[in-house]
Amino acid sequence: MTPYRFLALSLCATLAACAQQPPHEEAGAPGADGAQALPRVVTAKPDARKLPLPDVELNEELLYKLMLAEIAVQRGQPHVAVPAYLELARDTRDPRIAQRATEVAWNARFQSAALEAATIWLQVDPKSTRARQIIAALLVNQAKLAEAQPHLEEWLAADRENVGRSFLQLNVLLARHKDKPGVLQLMRGLAAQYPDVPEARLAVAQAAWNAKDEQLALKEARAALKFRPDWEIAALFVAQVLQRRSDDEAIQYLGGYLEAYPKARDVRLNYVRLLVNVKRYAEARQQFEVLVREYPQNAEVSMAVALLAVQAKDYDAAEAQLKRVLELDYKDPDAARLYLGQVNEERQRFDAALKWYSSVNPGGQYINAQGRYAGVLAKQGKLAEARQHLQQVTAHSNRERVQLTQAEAQLLREANAYQEAFDVLGRALEKMPNTPDLLYDYAMAAEKVDRIDVVEANLRKLIKIQPDHAHAYNALGYTLADRNQRVEEAHDLIRAALKLSPDDPFIMDSMGWVLYRMGRSEEGLEYLQRAYRQRPDAEIAAHLGEVLWALGRREEARRIWDGALKDHPKNEALQKAVKRFLP
């Protein structure tokens, strides 16, 4: 067999295989041309159609170019492989080569080349759903929604039997797009042709939610449920929208839904979660019993019930379900052991807690368990032994070293040894100077020892390293606001944090607090109330009470503080607030 004969067979096999394989769906790395990571595209099953092949002779020159292009792929040389395959696609107009060119460019994150190759692919094979999907995904990624729309319309129309699933895939494709109003407009246009498809209505609802049109989101989600009443995903979405207005409204809705569909497991779990959040523990316990009775052999349900029981401080139920989880061969038994340690720690059964933490095996839960083990020792008055325990744990990565350092610093903070915590984190940061978690924790430790220069320097460095680190902006803004310093700048920092993480209750709390510092108490109150509804944290309660007091609503302030003190009697910020205003 001649070398060219062998090469021809080899490359023909490659082309045949590429006609059956969709481009890889990897995501996450930036493109070689600096572009954003490509979105994931769920492709259709490989079709068995006879491809429209061009009348191109497989001569020695073409084989040589194919060989060079493919060798470049195998050697990891995308800057050679992508232009070579793209040129072949242009010259041959062969759908198999165009598909291979698309695949190579896609995997290399060469977006413009991938778009050109996929366009050629679609031109020579107009019935290719995969080519159309990829073109649409690339256009969306490049913020060309209007250009993507006809391709998306064709994609949906090509498989009407599965159009509902296609709308769910579209949600994934469009969810991270920054132009939320534009995505809503696009989704409404696409869904208008499928008014009776529940997935289409829910897709519009989710786009409306992302665009902050809550009224439309609720309307469309309820429309989806009219066509598919037992669809739990849509019911949970309705509850999510209602919860933004009121926990009680969401609870009432989910309770009514369960009366109609008592087997709706995910709805019931979320119903219990909401009951626990608003401290309606007696009702939550009733729902625990229903779940355990309905799903006695389901380890996932037992684990979910156990965690909700921990949150409700129903430690008997939590311990029983966690032990049940271990009997049911749960996928992550060390997680159950870790929570059993925490349950016993909360009940001050310290010997039992140490036993459970010691039983956690090396793996994903191990470092956390060692930190908790040290925490129990510290609670027993053995701080030196606790620190020694953490220092003797073997770390297998920088991430684990950071976790152990954080655990040691936390022990010191809890012992009010703020300077020592600051020093521990500082020494670790010298060894790992650009570690985001250490930069953040060191800044927080610096605040405790009144080193505001260090706070600001480290948080600004963190923001430079991770421009989307919402809590870095928030921490710096809150630190300034809490000291009544540079409040306009503090407001801008917190506003940036809120833009990055709009539903974070701690950032809402900071916004409420800085507005109060700026003399805009009524505006601040709205943020604080929303934050406290979402997360009844002691420090949020301290701020909320103070703003209510300043507005003359003193009975409300007292109720907030009294309730928070019952759950967090030793919280420093809460105690300071109460002492300032109450005799």
Q: Is the pLDDT of residue 34 over 90?
A: no
Q: How far apart are CA 150 and CA 188, in angstroms?
A: 14
Q: How far apart are CA 520 and CA 557, in angstroms?
A: 18
Q: Is the pLDDT of residue 5 over 80?
A: no
Provide mean pLDDT across the span 29-40.
Answer: 38
Tell me the CA distances in angstroms from 493 to 455, 467, 481, one per residue in order. 14, 12, 10
Q: Is residue 314 part of a domain?
A: yes
Q: Is residue 272 part of a domain?
A: yes
Q: Is residue 313 part of a domain?
A: yes
Best CA proximity match to 577, nearest among 561, 556, 553, 566: 561
Summarised one tens digit per residue, pLDDT across range 46-86 is: 455 566 677 666 777 788 888 888 888 888 888 888 888 88
Q: What is the pLDDT of residue 50?
A: 67
Provide mean pLDDT across the span 266-287.
Answer: 90
Q: How far apart are CA 122 and CA 563, in angstroms?
A: 64
In which domain, by residue range, is 580 found?
475-583
pTM of the prediction?
0.69
Q: What is the pLDDT of residue 41?
A: 40
For residue 561, the domain's CATH number is: 1.25.40.10
Mean pLDDT, rounded, of the chain: 87
Q: Is the pLDDT of residue 43 over 90?
A: no
Q: How far apart are CA 277 and CA 251, in angstroms?
A: 11
Identify the domain boundary among 264, 298, 331. Answer: 331
Q: Is residue 40 part of a domain?
A: no
Provide mean pLDDT across the span 557-569.
Answer: 90
Contact 264, 258 (CB under 8 A): yes
Summarised one tens digit per residue, pLDDT across range 453-509 is: 999 999 999 999 999 999 999 999 999 999 989 999 999 999 999 999 998 999 999
Q: What is the pLDDT of residue 207?
A: 92
Task: Give the angle 260-256-289 at the CA atoms, nearest 5°.
Answer: 85
> Cα–chain-centroid distance for residue 436?
18
Q: Is residue 370 part of a domain?
A: no
Angle in degrees, 0-180, between the axes of helices 470-482 and 436-448, rounded to the nearest 10 = 10
pLDDT over 90, % of the chain: 57
Identify the domain boundary among 286, 307, 331. Answer: 331
Q: Is residue 285 part of a domain?
A: yes
Q: Which residue has the higher pLDDT, 577 or 439?
A: 439
Tell me the CA distances in angstroms from 169 to 40, 199, 312, 466, 551, one per residue in order. 9, 10, 37, 30, 49
Provide mean pLDDT across the span 433-445.
Answer: 95
Burial of 143 (0-12, 13-18, 19+ CB in 10 A): middle
Q: Which residue has the higher pLDDT, 339 or 149?
A: 339
Q: Is residue 191 part of a domain?
A: no
Provide mean pLDDT across the span 356-379.
Answer: 95
DSSP 29: S
Q: Is the pLDDT of residue 340 over 90?
A: yes
Q: How many CA atoms lie within 13 A of 143 on its CB side?
A: 6
Summarised one tens digit per residue, pLDDT across range 195-232 is: 999 999 999 999 999 888 999 999 999 999 999 999 99
Provide mean pLDDT across the span 11-37.
Answer: 42
Q: Is the pLDDT of residue 37 over 60?
A: no
Q: Which residue has the higher pLDDT, 78 or 446?
A: 446
| pLDDT confidence tier of residue 277, bands split at 50, 70 and 90 | confident
Summarised one tens digit per residue, pLDDT across range 297-324 is: 999 999 999 998 998 889 999 999 999 9
Q: How far apart are CA 152 and CA 371, in angstroms?
A: 50
Q: How many CA atoms lie within 13 A of 210 on its CB side?
A: 21
Q: Which residue has the higher pLDDT, 22 or 527?
A: 527
Q: How far apart are CA 499 and CA 519, in angstroms?
A: 22
Q: How many CA atoms lie within 13 A of 205 on its CB side?
A: 26
Q: Which residue has the higher pLDDT, 93 or 439?
A: 439
Amino acid found at 74: Q
Identify the domain boundary among 331, 362, 393. Answer: 331
Q: Is the pLDDT of residue 6 over 50?
A: no
Summarised one tens digit per residue, pLDDT across range 241-269 is: 999 888 899 999 999 999 999 999 999 99
Q: Is the pLDDT of residue 22 over 60?
A: no
Q: What is the pLDDT of residue 26?
A: 37
Provide mean pLDDT across the span 274-282.
Answer: 88
Task: Give all strands (DSSP E) within 2-60, no chain letters.
Answer: none
State the Rg of the chain over Cα. 29
Q: How far apart are CA 139 and CA 143, in angstroms?
A: 6
Q: Is residue 529 part of a domain?
A: yes
For 485, phi and psi rounded to 5 degrees?
-115, 135
Domain count along the chain: 2
